[in-house]
Amino acid sequence: MIDAREPLAELWDIQDNDIIEYLARESNLTMVDRTLKRFLNELNFAEAYINVKDNLIIVYTVNMSMIPEIISIPETEQYKQFLDFKHVQNSLASLKSSFNELAILANEDKPTSITIGIFPKFNKIVLVVGDNVRSRKESQILRAFISSARRNGAEIFFADSIDKLHAKRGINSGKITTRVFSGDGIYNEFDNVICSAGFWARTKDKSQTLLVAAGHCDIKSYLSESKKTIFYLEYNSSRNNWRIGIYF
């Protein structure tokens, strides 16, 4: 007999009786995260994200000399035990600059069947290339764009290797499927609210698959007469490219 755990226990790989403790952790870390991000500038830092399992906020840092200054700020000093600064090569400002250059080039040259975006946890720009059939001219444009992307430090994924590499977006035979992971951005079009995905779950009868919003997701809780369309929000991209469901 399989002892099925609660979805949150599965998400954090803990026992059911630890869920309340970990929810309290998440709530505390969310508050710390909001406080911390007010003081992280894009030239010296890349991203900060919550690690509930380790009870830490991981702070991707380019200029490690800034750490004493950050943890000495009165608003953050009391939370320094929750901060784990990890050195990375690319600041958020640098990533945005490179992405903007590639976005301009893509709009001009229009390479076919590609997806590009900033993935902060990779600390890289990621370019996913679909395996669609291309004309000779389209192939030449794509090769030139890939070369430009590499010069801008992008990580290149091709469609036939996506599953092996666990990339966020899979492209196969012209069909794009969006993989939404815990912590990814989502957008509530009805309320114009950006928040975070929590975890996937199913109803008891397994008739519906549900995306549960994380504790730090600030979706307005009032009910509306209209169904709310939810979109996957890739970092630094349009809000309404990938519809992932309906919120009632």
**What is the arithmetic mean of pLDDT over 67-85?**
96
Three-state secondary structure string covering 65-129:
HHHHHHHHCHHHHCCHHHEEEEECCCCHHHHHHHHHHHHHHHHHHCCCCEEEEEECCCCEEEEEE
Q: Helices 136-151 and 92-109: crossing angle, nearest 10°?
A: 160
CATH of domain 92-178: 3.30.300.50
Q: Which residues are within 8 A (CB) of 25 and not within 5 positions of it... i.e. 6 or more apart?
A: 52, 55
Q: Which residues pair with 187 in a beta bridge?
A: 194, 231
Whether the per-residue pLDDT at 110 is higher than 70: the answer is yes
Higher pLDDT, 241 or 182: 182
* pLDDT greater at residue 16 or residue 43: 43
Q: For residue 97, what are its two tokens?
A: 């600059």
C-alpha–C-alpha distance, residues 125 and 183, integer Å: 18
Domain limits of the chain? Answer: 7-87, 92-178, 185-247
Q: What average pLDDT does range 167-188 have in this prediction?
A: 53
Q: Taking residues 1-27, what's their average pLDDT?
A: 80
